[in-house]
Amino acid sequence: MFKVIADPKKNRLYLTLGRISSTLETEAIIYQIEKAVQQLTKGFTCLKDLREYDVCPPVTEAFMQDCQVILWDAQIGKTVRVCKNIAECDLFSFETKSMVWPAYDVSKVECMKEAEAILDSHTC
């Protein structure tokens, strides 16, 4: 389950990821992100709802690194991740093993309202 929405008025990408269980889904996610960021301008913000995020074999989190590269190349500004539990919000091992991932500013919260408030107050 996933949803990708671009809001050009807010210059924001909304990304909701649930259970991802096929490479067809990951390809669709990547494609939709690529299309969505074309509607946004440099410094756009991103709200990632990862409260239900889960990957199932054969899918690995490697596709998430591909997503982050797309966002970086599109010149993302600020990201807020919404997770069930802040303590478990460091989801991606490639981030914890590297000093450069993600290559953009990420905040972590447990509530959508808080995420929106953080991003609404962000200036490029």
Q: Specify whether the CB–CB gap between 61 and 91 falls below 8 A.
A: yes
Give me the CATH number covering residue 95: 3.30.750.24
Residue with the bigger pLDDT between 95 and 23: it is: 23
Structural domain includes residue 122:
no
Strand-pairing partners, residue 19, are 54
To the nearest whole number, what is the mean pLDDT of the chain? 85
With a cut of 90, say whether residue 8 has pLDDT above it: yes
pLDDT digit string, tens, across residues 54-95:
888 777 777 888 888 899 899 999 889 898 887 766 655 444
The domain in which residue 28 lies consists of 2-113
pLDDT digit string, tens, across residues 92-115:
544 444 444 556 678 889 999 999
Provide, rounded to the nearest whole percent, the portion of the chain with pLDDT above 90.
56
What is the C-alpha to C-alpha distance for residues 50 and 108, in angstroms, rounded to an integer?
10
Return all residues near 42 (Cβ < 8 A) that are at least 6 apart.
Answer: 75, 77, 124
Structural domain includes residue 107:
yes
Q: What is the pLDDT of residue 16?
A: 96
Instruction: Print burial letters for 54-63: b (CB count within 10 Å at least 16), e (below 16).
Output: ebeeebeeeb
Q: How many domains does the chain have?
A: 1
